[in-house]
Amino acid sequence: MAVNRAEKKTLDYALRALQLIFAIIVMGTDGYAIHVFRGHTVYEHSWFGNFYDYYGVPDAWGFLMFCAAWTVLIVIFHLIAGISFADRVLIGYIRVAVEAVAVLSWLAGFIAVAVQISTDTCSAGKNSCGTLKAATIFGAFEWLLFMVTAALTVMLVFNSSHKPRISTTRPDAAV
């Protein structure tokens, strides 16, 4: 099925808008879970001595927040690169690399948080579990959106009819 260039741009803008919306939702839900968690101090007794140990917010929650912030930057980059540098080959390869990093980041981020939901870090008695589950679900949807946009970007860059720019100087020109 042939899709013209205007329909591809419309689809790309719609997917980027969804990515931005889901990133904002993940920022809000994950940020609220981080705020509500409140670290705690535990008195530890071991064979080499007693000490107080502080348990803060798990690192995976912060990484999911990083993925959401990274997504905002990616969407801005793709909008600028798609408008200003559409005919540059190097920018196309950079777009593919950025998409690949985003896909892997979201995959790692939502899986790391999903693993912690079943642990005692997020037990049923804590208020942050519901919002953390929502952040994980929207993180999974964000990963799926990035899988789609990564596939579209790869097809656009590698199947493009654009050729690299050719030098306008003549081969016999004096140097």
Which one-letter DSSP state was computed for residue 4? -
Residue 17 lies in a domain: no
Residues of the chain above pLDDT 70, percent: 78
Residue 62 lies in a domain: yes
Residue 99 lies in a domain: yes
Residue 42 lies in a domain: yes
What does pTM read for this prediction? 0.78
Length of the chain: 175
The pLDDT of residue 153 is 87
Q: Which of 104-113, 130-139, 153-162 has the lowest mean pLDDT?
A: 153-162
Residue 14 lies in a domain: no
Residues spanned by the domain of 74: 29-158
Condensed to tens digits (0 to 9), the pLDDT of residues 93-128 reads 888 999 999 999 999 999 999 998 877 666 545 567
Q: Between residues 27 and 1, which one has the greater pLDDT?
A: 27
Q: How many domains does the chain have?
A: 1
**Are 116 and 123 a contacting pair, CB within 8 Å?**
no
Residue 64 lies in a domain: yes
Residue 134 lies in a domain: yes
137 — pLDDT class (breaks 50, 70, 90): very high
The Cα 24–Cα 106 span in angstroms is 14
Nearest to 117 by CA among 103, 101, 135, 102: 135
